[in-house]
A and B are shown apart, each in its own frame.
Chain A
Amino acid sequence: MKPSTSIDLKVSIGDLVLNNPVMTASGTFGYGEEFAPYGDLNHLGAVIVKGLSLEPRTGNPPPRMMETPSGMLNAVGLQNIGVRAFIREKLPFLRRFDCAVIANIYGETVEEYERVAGLLSRASGVAALEVNISCPNVRRGGIAFGAEPDAAAEVTRRVKAAAALPVMVKLTPNVTDIAQIARAVEEAGADAISLINTLTGMSVDVEKRIPHLANVTGGLSGPAIRPVALRMVWQAVQAVSIPVIGVGGILNARDALEFLIVGARAVQVGTANFIRPTVTMEIIDGISAYLERHACRSVTQIIGTLKTPEAELRRGGGGERT
């Protein structure tokens, strides 16, 4: 079905306006150029690039990946070319496209986060920053900042002060109370939050009695984590008033719509990019087709429209809205 062009897919994340609510999750879309031969990047809401650190990072030894039931474990270890090489070598290509470019940033120390944020703020062509305080595959930094509300708030505050761009903070699901972390990050000045990063996991080769990953543990992604992600996004939406971006196991438009309906302002597609490099385009078309079928003129008409008994009560026992 060819979706009608009259449907407005635009969403705003603070000051940042996206052509549509579909972004590519960091670490699953390279620096964009890997996917350009397969589809038109102009169609995407945003490209979020592989996490950038101040200096290049070698990453973890192989094997780094194992497919598991309905998902995959990875322990890449934030291998990246470093923020300066990104600005010099990768950003000029991405600037040619209409989609927003969001730089995912990572540091081992708060100072490193600040410096990466500063460098990217001075580069032209970056629309926003996504602060990775949730990588489970590195010894220092990453999840160490994201699992504790005070540390998460501190990184957020410092990046926000160093950056001249909207700041989105990517949260880890490996916490007891996601609402508490979400609130801490909001109070520290985040413009948006995205969740979830991968769940820590493990897999063993029983014949050899060795872990499938050289790093022993890794981050679980894919549809296996989607119900967890959806629950956490729903909780975060109720805990904060800044935009929430839903991530976790989205394979198709239906999956993306689940997140939008529970209140995510936009979504990120991750592991699915590895399965079909054109999947994001298919998801955008699928969302349009759904909106048309439900007689919605704008995607904003379905965001946060989950009908629960409590929501119905708050609405005064009201009936159908669409």
Chain B
Amino acid sequence: MKSKEIAPGAVLFNRALTPEHFLLALSLTPSFARPVPGQFVMIRPEGVGPQLLSRPFSLYGYRGRRDGSRIELLYRTIGAGTRQLAALKAGESVEILGPLGRGFTLGPDVDEVILLAGGMGVAPLTFFAERLGRTKAPPRVVCYFGARIRDELIGLDRLSPLCSELHIATEDGSCGERGVITDLFAARMRRHDTRRAAIYACGPNPMLQTLSRILAGTSLRCQVSVEERMACGIGACLCCATAVAMPGRQVSYRRVCCDGPVFNLRDLIWDMTPDHSDSRGCTSP
């Protein structure tokens, strides 16, 4: 019956990119399945720490080998759980559950992939772009990447070689256009062929909500990776609810962890969704 397990992981490094942004690399056993970009893991330091629950993070990188695999996670410290992770040192052990959830999918008729990354939302999109680059006929990748300030354009070095075009916006204008990334995208949206392009977005809920307004009158396809606090990550606790529209103006809640974290943007309802503008990044806060 048993087909999944809690994988033991060892910290390879846990590098501070800024005082509050970290890149965590882990070595895992071969039993860790090859992830689809957009999927996530639940992670906690081994043993009983002050924080009990694992934290969900979408995958930023993966390399599978016969003798074990290596994954990378990108995160920001915004609460006790992420601060506990930030204290991990090379060689220390973690418990990992995953890969979990549904990742991004690519339609056969898509030859232009538009990535819309807000802050730490860059993590799953970078992983996605990297995977796309390894396909037989890679689609053109156009990326819009926004952050509050220049220093928070985390992972720009890894992202830029993966894109044919890269458009940057910062709220203070310290890099690229001044303003939010959705404005920059809206101004250039007409240049994309709605029949052949597909958008993939990840970022704070207000960004996704704005995007849903921008796309309302268009036929552009858009998959988004949604953030919500989780307890279990495997569909049992029902904590990570996100509202979706049902026939007859009814609302229903889906579990971000197993019905998502990737959803079609058009299926989501935003006016009942809270403002996670302090998201700790990646797929889930």
Interface residues of A, Cβ cutoff 8 Å to B: 27-30, 34-42, 50, 58-67, 69-72, 74, 76, 79, 207, 214, 222-223, 251, 271, 273-278
Given contacts A37-B1, A62-B242, A277-B234, 13 further A-B contacts (CB under 8 A): A28-B236, A34-B232, A35-B234, A59-B253, A62-B241, A62-B253, A65-B230, A70-B52, A214-B274, A223-B52, A273-B236, A276-B6, A277-B6
Q: Is the CB of B48 within 8 A of A251?
A: yes
Instruction: Output the residue of A40, A59, A65, A72 with the most chain B CB within 10 A.
Output: A65
Interface contact A65-B237, CB-CB below 8 Å: yes
CB pair A275–B234 under 8 Å, yes or no, is no
Contact A61:B230 (CB < 8 A) given known A29-B236, A275-B52, A277-B6: no
Instruction: Determine if B102 is an interface residue (Cβ-Cβ < 8 Å).
Output: no
B243 touches A59 (CB 8 A): no
Residues of A within 8 A of B236 (CB): 28-30, 34-35, 273-274
Q: Are A65 and B253 in contact (CB under 8 A)?
A: no
Q: Contacts A38-B4, A63-B274 given: A30-B97 contact, CB under 8 Å?
A: no
In the complex, whether B238 has a CB less than 8 A from a CB of chain A is yes
What is the bound-complex CA distance between A27 and B232, given in angstroms? 11
The distance in angstroms between the C-alpha atoms of A42 and B278, with both chains bound, is 43
Do the beta carbons of A58 and B232 come within 8 Å of each other?
no
Contact A65 B231 (CB under 8 A): yes
Interface of B is mostly: loop
Is B238 in contact with A275, judged by CB distance below 8 angstroms? Answer: no
Contact B234 A34 (CB under 8 A): yes
A65, B229: Cβ atoms under 8 Å?
yes
Taking CB atoms, residues of chain A closer than 8 Å to B97 are 277
Contacting pair A63 B234 (CB below 8 A): no
13 contacts between A and B (CB under 8 A): A27-B237, A37-B1, A38-B5, A40-B1, A58-B253, A67-B80, A67-B231, A76-B241, A79-B241, A79-B253, A251-B52, A274-B53, A277-B232
A62 to B241, CA, bound (A): 6
Contact B2 A37 (CB under 8 A): yes
**Interface 1/0s, chain B 119-132, versus A by CB < 8 A?**
00000000000000
Is B240 an interface position by the 8 A CB rule?
Answer: yes
**Which residues of A sit under 8 angstroms from B231, Cβ to Cβ?**
65, 67, 72, 74, 271, 274
B81 at interface (Cβ–Cβ under 8 A)? yes
Is there contact, CB below 8 Å, between B232 and A69? no
Partner of B238, one of A39, A42, A59: A59
Contact check, A63 vs B229: say whether CB atoms are below 8 A apart.
yes
Residue in chain B with minimal CB distance to A79: B238
Closest residue to B253 on the A side, CB-wise?
A59
**Closest B residue by C-beta to A207:** B278
Which residues of B, 229-281, contact A by the 8 Å Cβ criterion?
Answer: 229-232, 234-243, 251-253, 258, 272-274, 278
Q: How far is the CA of A76 from the CA of B241 in the complex (A)?
A: 9
Residues of chain B within 8 A (CB-CB) of A67 are 51-53, 80-81, 231
Q: Does the CB pair B253–A63 fall under 8 Å?
A: no
Partner of A62, one of B54, B228, B252: B228
* CB-based contact A58/B240 at 8 Å: no
B253/A38 in contact, CB under 8 A: no
A58 & B252 in contact (Cβ 8 Å cutoff): yes
CB–CB A59/B53 < 8 A: no
B152 proximal to A (CB < 8 A): no
Chain A residues near B232 (CB-CB < 8 A): 34, 273-274, 277
Cross-chain contact of B52 among A28, A222, A278 (Cβ < 8 A): A222
Chain B neighbourhood of A251, CB < 8 A:
48, 52
Given contacts A37-B3, A62-B273, A63-B274, contact A30 B235 (CB under 8 A): yes
Given contacts A65-B230, A72-B53, A251-B48, contact A34 B235 (CB under 8 A): yes
- Option from A39, A62, A274 in Cβ contact (under 8 Å) with B2: A39
Q: Which residues of A contact B235 (CB under 8 A)?
A: 30, 34
Bound together, the chains give a CA A234 to CA B23 distance in angstroms of 48
Determine whether the beta carbon of A278 is less than 8 Å from that of B272. no
Residue from B80, B228, B232 with most neighbouring chain A CB atoms (10 Å): B232
Q: Tell me if B183 counts as interface (CB < 8 A to partner A).
A: no
